[in-house]
Structure 1
């Protein structure tokens, strides 16, 4: 097998990009600042700011405090709730699937680079491993991009959520803007997408050829004693004497 370690520097860098993108995607899934609601009534929402995430809606309050929190009140949202908007449902499902595919992609990248640096195998499994890793990373990026863009559009168009009374959330905010959760998720998705493209574009190095366009070694010439004698006319004349 050819020495391939020098041909996978870009893929080694893309593995780091993929790992960072996967971590950022996981962080975005846990953040509550996907939608930031600004409200004028501060009777319950003391700070005038409420956050809507993928799994729960929270706000700071001096009147209502969730056990385990000092000044924050949170209520969870699940797939079974009828008020949960479809973009939140899509985020709960697709973001989790994105994490699973991204983890498999990172594992595939480690396997492919291990074959490059530490093992000797045929060329085709190495390239197939890189291509499979790239497809997994790109699939993970697409799955996370769909709910991120969907929630981004919902914020831009000022879509509201009909929360139940126990959430103590207003029926509609005075205004809302995109939170850091969507921003972190976007950065992670872009990193996963770039790493997937780099993995898919891996190519084997071209074999170097000898001058003249021939890669085969020059044939060796061996002379027998008789041939050497026949090629020397002076030697033949001496034998005749």
Structure 2
């Protein structure tokens, strides 16, 4: 069996990048600080700052506190909510799918590297395994990039969300900016993209020539002129 371990060092590093990127994507999905609202009325929102994520909207308050929290009020945003803007719904769906596809990509990377370093399956299509892994990582990156960029665009254009009264949020913020949740997601997306490209660039080494061909190449071909002199 051909020794291939030396050909996949870059892909081993790519697997590490992919795992870190996948972890950051999953963390970003759960963070509430996607969009940070600044409000002037601090009667309810004590800090003057509210956070809007893809699943929840929260703020610190001394007057309205959600059970289970000490100084925070949170309300969940579901897919069926009529007020939920399309970029939030896209974030809920695509970020979740990105986590699932990225997990499959990491599993594919482990499988491909296992065959390269351990050679447990001699007939396995190694290059195809790396290509599939790279395609899954790139797909996961695109899935997460869409809602991230969409929400950034909404923040830059100061788009508001008409929350119902139970959210205790104003009709629109005085100002808003991008939160750390989007930043974490963007870093994860970049890492997943880089790892996907590295996986797709894997190349099998060129096979050496067969024994007869290699001996012929090593010994050189007979010179016809030399043969003619021998027969004289």
Using the size of structure 1 for normalisation, the TM-score is 0.86
Deviation of the 1:123 alpha carbon = 7.0
User: Aligned partners of 1:26, 1:187: CA distance in 2, in Å?
Assistant: 12
User: Aligned partners of 2:107, 2:72: CA distance in 1, in Å?
Assistant: 38
Deviation of the 1:217 alpha carbon = 2.0
User: In the alignment, what sits opposite 1:155?
Assistant: 155
Q: How does 1:145-184 map to 2 (within 5 A)?
A: 145-184=145-184
Q: How does 1:1-241 map to 2 (within 5 A)?
A: 1-119=1-119, 121-122=121-122, 125-207=125-207, 216-218=214-216
Aligned partner of residue 73 in structure 1, secondary structure: strand
**Conserved in 2, the CA contact under 8 Å of 1:24 and 1:184?**
yes
**Number of residue equivalences:** 218
Deviation of the 1:113 alpha carbon = 0.3
**Conserved in 2, the CA contact under 8 Å of 1:35 and 1:155?**
yes
Larger radius of gyration: 1
**Conserved in 2, the CA contact under 8 Å of 1:208 and 1:215?**
no
> For the structure 1 residues 153 and 122, does the alpha-carbon distance in structure 2 shift closer, same or farther, using more than 3 Å as the test?
same
User: Aligned partners of 1:124, 1:117: CA distance in 2, in Å?
Assistant: 13
**Conserved in 1, the CA contact under 8 Å of 2:35 and 2:177?**
yes
Gaps of 5+ in 1: 222-241
RMSD of aligned alpha carbons: 2.0
> For the structure 1 residues 164 and 206, does the alpha-carbon distance in structure 2 shift closer, same or farther, using more than 3 Å as the test?
same
Deviation of the 1:206 alpha carbon = 2.7
Deviation of the 1:216 alpha carbon = 1.5
Deviation of the 1:72 alpha carbon = 0.2
Aligned partner of residue 216 in structure 1, secondary structure: helix
Using the size of structure 2 for normalisation, the TM-score is 0.90
Deviation of the 1:204 alpha carbon = 1.0
User: In the alignment, what sits opposite 1:227?
Assistant: none
Deviation of the 1:170 alpha carbon = 0.4
Cα deviation 1:120-163 (Å, max 9, x = unaligned)? 54576100000000000000000000000000000000000000
Aligned partner of residue 17 in structure 1, secondary structure: helix
Cα deviation 1:14-68 (Å, max 9, x = unaligned)? 0000000000000000000000000000010000000000101000000000011
User: Aligned partners of 1:218, 1:81: CA distance in 2, in Å?
Assistant: 76
Aligned partner of residue 162 in structure 2, secondary structure: coil
Cα deviation 1:142-190 (Å, max 9, x = unaligned)? 0000000000000000000000001000000000000000000000000
